[in-house]
Amino acid sequence: MSSDLVRKGLSIISQCKDDTGDIWHAHFGAAAIASYYLVKDFTFSQESVDRIISQSEKMIEKHSLSQVHFTTGVDYTVAERKIVDALEETIGQLHWVGHHVIYTAYSLLAIRELGSWGEESIDKIVQLILSFKGTIPGRSWIGYTAKDIKNMEITKDDKIPSILTPVDLSEFILKELATFQTIYEAEAHHDLIGHMLTYSHALNVIYDLGHHSLFHKGLFPVLQLVKALRKSKEITDVTSIKLVSPVDKLPLFQKQRANALPFEKSFWEKDYEGIEWDFGHLFKFTYSYLDHTNRVPALKEDTLENFRYIISY
């Protein structure tokens, strides 16, 4: 399979800050890389593979940034060290629901796959990761403010199991996913649950790539996100909950249920360009969920129903 999606995805991540002035366009680059690994790591029908790749290519074409030109490629070991050093500064805090870790993980996967990348572009990825320093945990929460999240502690009362390996983390996250009785259509809820999947998956990728100390340093902010989401499980009246968000409004409504799942052919028969591939989350949420359940297959059946509400469009 061609690594063109990986190259173009990494290009978007590296050009994001310079070309757009913010951190968000890198979503599409990470999504392209996710789509590549989705069909590489998991089994789909050839028809589904073709459709996944086709939709990802359309997304990349629509959201590409300035062309990356370089003549000197930096070996992945050098590039990886630079990016990892940048993440060291912020991995112990929750910033924008973990996108500094998510972008890092996908960048490292891509550079490993390609073998090298341009030095100037690597430095731009470093600057993108560093730009998360001092940013808020996120903008949309149920039951908390961003300040509450930033100051949140994890105590024995939270009953967090021992998490030493990616399998431990995947098991913990999947069990959390399984316990939601209702998943609401809101950035503060279904989207945050999706990012719980991708954030924790990104930590697992970083561990898989050999950076075990970063994995352990990054657990605390993931647990803060999980604890914040647990608050939503206490909702009894959707009209009077504490909702802090510039985009979500009360009352909250249950998100629609997906009839088809991403590993079913019919899911990819739909063209998702109209919703901008959910800012690329369509690919990332799917890849993260499948990676978690691949590590802990016994929990797939328990989580499939709730995943339908995360991936419905």
Provide the pLDDT for residue 73: 72
In the 3-class helix/strand/coil scheme, how is the chain assigned residue by residue?
A: CCCHHHHHHHHHHHHHHHHHCCCCCHHHHHHHHHHHHHHHHCCCCHHHHHHHHHHHHHHHHHHCCCCCCCCCEEEHHHHHHHHHHHHHCCCCCCCHHHHHHHHHHHHHHHHHHHCEEEHHHHHHHHHHHHCCCCCCCCCCEECCCHHHHHCCCCCHHHCCCCCCCHHHHHHHHHHHHHCCCCCECCCCCHHHHHHHHHHHHHHHHHHHCCCHHHHHHCHHHHHHHHHHHHHHHHCCCCCCCCEECCCCCCCCCECCCCCCCCCCHHHHHCCCHHHHHHHCHHHHHHHHHHHHHHHCHHHHHHHHHHHHHHCCC
Provide the pLDDT for residue 231: 93
Q: In the chain, where are the structural domains located?
A: 4-130, 141-310
pLDDT tens for the 313 residues of the chain, in order = 678 999 999 999 999 998 899 999 999 999 999 999 999 999 999 999 999 999 999 999 999 886 665 545 778 889 999 999 999 999 999 999 999 999 999 999 999 999 877 778 899 999 999 999 999 999 999 999 999 999 999 999 999 999 999 999 999 999 999 999 999 999 999 999 999 999 999 999 999 999 999 999 999 999 999 999 999 988 888 888 899 999 999 999 999 999 999 999 999 999 999 999 999 999 999 999 999 999 999 999 999 999 999 999 9
pTM above threshold 0.85: yes
Provide the pLDDT for residue 27: 97
Provide the pLDDT for residue 72: 58
